Amino acid sequence: MQKPPMLRHPFRILGHGLAFGGITIAAAIDYLVRIRLPGRHRDYSIRALWLQYWSRWTLRLLHIQVFCTGTPPHRGLLVSNHVGYLDV
């Protein structure tokens, strides 16, 4: 007889959910204060830097490590492969 897969502890899931919700709210407030209200929302480079900053924070918070192999293309489109049965 096989053992059932180990379930994650419910408090750990709750903690990660609350942390993700908190960082989402903090990012939204930061976007309003730093980008939208000063009128810099049309500058793509500033928005890109803001997005990279908050993406790094979110990955760090959720303990997600990103591994890259190869070199990025000089021309063309870079598309990631979805590994799993459920695509976002």
Tens-digit pLDDT profile for residues 33-68: 988 888 888 888 888 899 999 999 888 887 888 887
Span 8-38, pLDDT tens digits? 677 888 888 888 899 999 999 999 998 888 8
**Secondary structure in 3-state letters for 2-66:** CCCCCCCCHHHHHHHHHHHHHHHHHHHHHHHHHHHCCCCCCCHHHHHHHHHHHHHHHHHHCCCCC
pTM of the predicted model as reported, rounded to 2 decimal places = 0.61
